[in-house]
Structure 1
Amino acid sequence: MTTGLTQPGSAKYVLFDVDGTLIDAVANQRRVWEMWAARYGLDPAAVYQVALRTRPVETFAAVAPKRDPHECLAALHELEDEDVRSGVYAAFDGASELLSELHADCWALVTSNYEHRVRGRFARTGLPVPGVLVDAAAVTEGKPSPVPYLLAAERLGAKPEDCLAIEDAPSGVESGLRSGMTVWGVNSSTPVDGVHRHFGSLREAVPDILAFATGSHQDSTA
């Protein structure tokens, strides 16, 4: 059992996005979408740019409106599952240290991916999985809707104002902000609009995230 810095019932909670925040999966995502596009005779680069901004069903509607969306989704899932089995993954520097210091009852994962893929990636990178994991199948509205983060807070027994969301992408940042949480951005050279704090890397954010989790961070929205 995790015996980190925080204890069950702590007043502070940390909610993490996965891809791009804890797991470096950018190359994997690009490769999957480019392979998917090739199957349908589409421009891989153009499809990927759309996929970065939208959920899969919205991407299909934009780039392949005449195709059966269920068929498109099945093809994408096939490629993603194969990538989990055979792709190369790495956790961002600081992720293992950070997650091992947090008590399992005080943090969660909030992802637009599916739980079995997240668990596969975490197993391959040695990261611990918390008790609360909100995935694409758990909600009817994905990011940038606040629903995923609000559901995670509910499952943690936490108030949104006591939660810190760690994100790397605009849709995730918007989701966290709309849920009423403090939102910090990581792993980008420039801040995403709206974040309360910005860190160039996850590693840089580790001390401050742990301080937030223990209630010792004095200015979480600076």
Structure 2
Amino acid sequence: MDGTLVDSTASVERAWGRFADRHGLDAAAILAVAHGRPTIEVVADFAPRGVDVVAETDRIEAEEIDRTDGISEVPGAAALLGSLDPSRWAVVTSATRALTLKRLAAVGIPLPKVLVAADDVTRGKPHPQPYMLAARALGYDATAAVAFEDAPAGLTSATEAGAATVVVGGYRGEAAAGLPRVPDLTGVRVVQVGPGLEVRLP
């Protein structure tokens, strides 16, 4: 969701900045690895000894749910999803279910019939489990899917699940090497080809 359907960069950076300030941490170090990963895993990696990781995670999530200012639709996201059969697409995110639904609704993006959120997995991105679960819920194997991702954890998760993966945005690190790329979802189309569907990039 974040970075592919919803531009929440400013909101996410503010949330991690507040966390860093509370605990005397380096916000830049946190942000370097936080994008696309479950909040609780990042908190566990950085929280000082003695901090209640679950309580801190709940606080960060509550702050983000309450503050939707500064988030916007990634261009083309609503149009693309609105053109699709709801039974053929899913949202796979490291955000919680509550935060995902709040952000999608806030920017006018259709809510998914299939949502795999941080609450639904035992191993989050970059592990392939989230994409494998989503594909199964749609009735397909992940190797039949096309995934759109913007951050290293998500790109690794999708490619290791076997999905054809498209980079959205400007990330150019190792996880994006050799993958097709779009700046946003403007002009991305899905067309019927024989019995299946084909994703066409601008």
Classify the TM-score, shorter chain.
0.7 to 0.9
Q: Which residue of 2 aligns with 1:83?
A: 64
Matched, 1:109 2:91: yes
* SS state at 1:178 partner: helix
Q: Which residue of 2 aligns with 1:138?
A: 120
- Give the AA of the match of 2:185: L
Q: Which residue of 2 aligns with 1:100?
A: 82
Matched, 1:73 2:22: no
1:51 is displaced (CA, Å) by 2.5
Q: Contact conserved, 1:36 with 1:76, CA < 8 A, in 2?
A: no
Range that drifts further, 184-193 or 121-130: 184-193
Distance in 1 of aligned mates of 2:132 and 2:171 = 28
Matched, 1:196 2:176: no
Q: Contact conserved, 2:89 with 2:114, CA < 8 A, in 1?
A: yes
* Structure 2 residue runs without a partner (length 5+): none
Distance in 2 of aligned mates of 1:149 and 1:165 = 9
Q: Which residue of 2 aligns with 1:173?
A: 155
1:65 is displaced (CA, Å) by 4.3
CA-to-aligned-CA distance 1:152-181 (integer Å, 9 cap, x gap): 011000122211111111111111111111
User: Out of 37, 43, 47, which is 1:64 matched to?
Assistant: 47
1:137 is displaced (CA, Å) by 1.1
TM-score scaled by length of structure 2:
0.86
Q: Classify 1:53/1:201 alpha carbon distance in 2 versus 1 (closer, same or farther; 3 Å).
A: closer
* Structure 1 residue runs without a partner (length 5+): 1-17
TM-score scaled by length of structure 1:
0.79
- Give the AA of the match of 2:94: S
Distance in 1 of aligned mates of 2:36 and 2:85 = 33
Aligned residues: 197
Range that drifts further, 191-200 or 177-186: 191-200
1:54 is displaced (CA, Å) by 5.3
Distance in 1 of aligned mates of 2:2 and 2:161 = 20
Distance in 2 of aligned mates of 1:96 and 1:63 = 35
Q: Contact conserved, 1:110 with 1:134, CA < 8 A, in 2?
A: yes
Q: Classify 1:26/1:160 alpha carbon distance in 2 versus 1 (closer, same or farther; 3 Å).
A: same
Q: Classify 1:104/1:58 alpha carbon distance in 2 versus 1 (closer, same or farther; 3 Å).
A: closer
- Give the AA of the match of 1:76: T
Matched, 1:45 2:28: yes
Which 4+ stretches in 1 moved above 6 angstroms? none
* SS state at 1:35 partner: helix
CA-to-aligned-CA distance 1:88-114 (integer Å, 9 cap, x gap): 121111011101001110000000011
Range that drifts further, 98-107 or 51-60: 51-60
Q: Which residue of 1 aligns with 2:15?
A: 32
Range that drifts further, 54-63 or 29-38: 54-63
Distance in 1 of aligned mates of 2:165 and 2:62 = 30
Distance in 2 of aligned mates of 1:53 and 1:133 = 15
CA-to-aligned-CA distance 1:117-143 (integer Å, 9 cap, x gap): 111111111111121000111110011
